Structure 1
Amino acid sequence: MRHRLYYFLPDTDSARRAFDDLLLHRIEQRHVRFLSGGAPLPHDLPEAGFLLKTDALHGAATGMAVGGILGILLGVMLVAYAGLGEATVLLTALMGLLFGAWASSMAAAALPNSRLKAFVPELQNGKILMIADIPARRVNEIEHMLAERHPETRFGGEESHIPVFP
């Protein structure tokens, strides 16, 4: 498992130095992303992708839950009132799950990531957000290194239970 660490950095030079230190401490480049409030980031800093910037994953999960439940209810009604077989419940649940995930993720793709909502004021003030997915056993080591080598950074929070294979 990985823990997602959020750090605010004052400028791009500080972001580069922090990124270089993470690389030197064997945190792979694919596990570190940066997000700015509007100013474009330099090409050497990996920018947060579509799934980090939007609420598409949250929307898909919500849509799957609602669609699956509605599909089960529809399947039960079809079995009870139309006399179809019990496999109908499974089929309608699967169809509801897929349709709900698709429809909700399409709608949520236009929305900013709800998990990053708390960081918006700092981003609008010109700060850069570093998002690093760190192996759980190394979190204390990396936090200590960043605090020691980069006093200009400000810890923004931590999320646990990030999948190993995102």
Structure 2
Amino acid sequence: MKRRIYWLMPDLASARSVMHDLVRARVDIARIHFTGPEGMDMTGLHAANVWQTSDLVHAAKTGLVVGSACGAVFGLVAALLFPIVGDDPEWEVAVLLAILGGVVGAWSASMIGISIPSPRLRRFESAIAQGRILLMVDLPRSRVRDIEALLQSAHPEARFEGEEPQVPALRSSA
């Protein structure tokens, strides 16, 4: 199981130095994510993408559930009231509409969720707006304390901002 640790860097030079130290400590570059103010030049850093900075995953899950439920209800009504062949209910229609509703619901909700900032990062908005850079590192539980100790000793200018018990959903494992 992975854990995510958060650190705030005061500037780009500090963030680049931290990136270098994490790579030297054999942290997979795909597990290091930086986010800063809009338009900041993140050259030399592994910038966070929409999976880390938006509400995409939560929105897609919600859309899947709501879409599947609506599709199932419409499918049951269609199966019972409007059979395609004969007079018997067409249960396959209910299943098909539930699946279709889930797919359409997940897709449409994810289009909305991608434009909504992640609630997990809400507490960092003011610091990022002031020009600080947020570091998110996804680590195996066994490496968390070592990496925290490395960052505390090598980068006193950085500020530890907490840890999540597990990495948010839909993260690939390494």
C-alpha change, 1:39 and 1:107, in structure 2 (3 Å) is closer
Q: Which residue of 1 aligns with 2:86?
A: none
Q: Which residue of 2 aligns with 1:61?
A: 61
Specify every segment of 5 or more residues in structure 2 that has no aligned partner in the other structure, as ranges.
84-88
Structure 2: distance between partners of 1:164 and 1:109? 19
Does 2:162 match 1:157? yes
CA contact (8 A) 1:3 1:159 kept: yes
CA contact (8 A) 1:59 1:104 kept: yes
Q: Which residue of 1 aligns with 2:145?
A: 140
C-alpha change, 1:41 and 1:157, in structure 2 (3 Å) is farther
Structure 2: distance between partners of 1:42 and 1:87? 51
Structure 1: distance between partners of 2:138 and 2:17? 17
TM-score with structure 1 setting the length: 0.90
Where do residues 11-160 of structure 1 align in structure 2 (5 Å cutoff)? 11-83=11-83, 84-160=89-165
The CA RMSD over aligned residues, in Å, is 1.8
C-alpha change, 1:164 and 1:42, in structure 2 (3 Å) is closer
Q: CA deviation at 1:64?
A: 0.6
How many residues align? The count is: 166
Q: Which amino acid aligns with 2:173?
A: F
CA contact (8 A) 1:75 1:93 kept: yes
Specify every segment of 5 or more residues in structure 1 that has no aligned partner in the other structure, as ranges.
none
Q: Which amino acid aligns with 1:165?
A: S
SS at match of 1:134: strand
Structure 2: distance between partners of 1:11 and 1:19? 12
SS at match of 2:165: strand
TM-score with structure 2 setting the length: 0.86
Q: Which has the larger radius of gyration?
A: 2
Q: CA deviation at 1:72?
A: 1.6
Structure 1: distance between partners of 2:8 and 2:48? 14
Q: Which amino acid aligns with 1:123?
A: I
SS at match of 2:41: coil
Structure 2: distance between partners of 1:157 and 1:82? 56
SS at match of 1:8: strand
Q: CA deviation at 1:164?
A: 4.2
Q: Which amino acid aligns with 2:157?
A: E
SS at match of 1:161: coil
Q: Which residue of 1 aligns with 2:10?
A: 10
